[in-house]
Structures are given as structure tokens and as C-alpha cells.
């Protein structure tokens, strides 16, 4: 396995989780290139447990934000209700009233 010269050409990451296409290209010392098509049957999802009695060689193609599970997930919408919006507007209004009253009281008492 150490002497294997191979490369994988895979499609770019997409949100389509039920489709995958790629190609495995292996070459030997005699300069014969062997090409094998890769499909969804040749993939494993994250957290998959493989229970095989023989040796299995694998390569990790996409990681992090590029994984199909991550690309297919959506962020949860913010739960910010009308009551919260009204409360924020009221707090801003009361703060503005306090600033105006403070400036008015200081100006009446003198700026000393």
C-alpha cells in the first residue's frame, strides 16, 4: 500500500446529499493508469461504524464546513417576539427621557 500512487478527483461540495461523483486514478510502475468511477455507494457518513473483517483503506475528502451534513443544515431562526421589541423600545424611550430630564435639571440649577 505504501507504493500505491493514486489520486481522487471529486466534485466540489454541494448541498445535494444524495448525489456524489468522483474518480479514483491509480497508476503502477508500468505507467498504466486505471480509472474507477466513484458514486454515493463509495461514501460513508460521519459517525458511521464499519464492521468489516478485512482491511479497509479510506480517504477523507471533505471536512469542517464543507461536509454535506453541515452544508445541508440551516441555522435556527431567532425567537425574538413582539413583546421583546416593545420592551426594548420602551427602555430606549425611558433612557432618552432620563437624559433630557438630567440635562434640564442641571441647566436650571446652573452649570457650576
The pLDDT, as a whole number, for residue 60 is: 75
- Cα gap 10→20, rounded to integer Å: 8
The pLDDT, as a whole number, for residue 97 is: 98
Contact yes or no for 19/40 (Cβ under 8 A): yes
The pLDDT, as a whole number, for residue 31 is: 67
The pLDDT, as a whole number, for residue 33 is: 80
Where do the structural domains in the chain lie, given as residue ranges? 5-72
The pLDDT, as a whole number, for residue 87 is: 96
Global pTM reads: 0.47
- Cα gap 68→46, rounded to integer Å: 10
pLDDT along the chain (112 residues), means of 10: 75 77 79 82 79 78 67 74 94 98 90 68
Amino acid at each position: 500500500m505504501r507504493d500505491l500512487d493514486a489520486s481522487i478527483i471529486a466534485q466540489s461540495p454541494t448541498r445535494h446529499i444524495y448525489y456524489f461523483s468522483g474518480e479514483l486514478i491509480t497508476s503502477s510502475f508500468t505507467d498504466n493508469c486505471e480509472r474507477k468511477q466513484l458514486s454515493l455507494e463509495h461514501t460513508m457518513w460521519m459517525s458511521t461504524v464499519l464492521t468489516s473483517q478485512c482491511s479497509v483503506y479510506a480517504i477523507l475528502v471533505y471536512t469542517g464546513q464543507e461536509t454535506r451534513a453541515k452544508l445541508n443544515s440551516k441555522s435556527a431562526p431567532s425567537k425574538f417576539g413582539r413583546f421583546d421589541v416593545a420592551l426594548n423600545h420602551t427602555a430606549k424611550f425611558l433612557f432618552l427621557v432620563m437624559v433630557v430630564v438630567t440635562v434640564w435639571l442641571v441647566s436650571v440649577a446652573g452649570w457650576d
